[in-house]
Structure 1
Amino acid sequence: AAPMHDVGKIGIPDAVLRKPGKLDEQEWAVMRQHVEIGAQIIGEHASGLLRTAQRIALSHHEKWDGSGYPNGLSGEDIPLEGRIVAIADVFDALTSVRPYKAAWSVEDAVRLLQEESGRHFDPQLVELFIQQLPAILEIKERWAEQA
Structure 2
Amino acid sequence: MRTHMVRTGLALGALAALTAATAPVSASARQAEPPPVLVDCLWHAQVRPAEFILACGDGNSRLVSLHWSRWDERAATAEGVNMVNDCKPYCAAGRFHDYAVTVRLDKPQTWKKDPKLRQYTRMTLTYENTRPERLAQTVVYPLWS
TM-score, scaled relative to structure 2: 0.25
Task: Report which of the two has the higher share of helix.
Answer: 1
Q: Which has the higher contact order (CA 8 A, sep 6+)?
A: 1
Larger radius of gyration: 2
Task: Report which of the two has the higher share of strand.
Answer: 2
TM-score, scaled relative to structure 1: 0.25
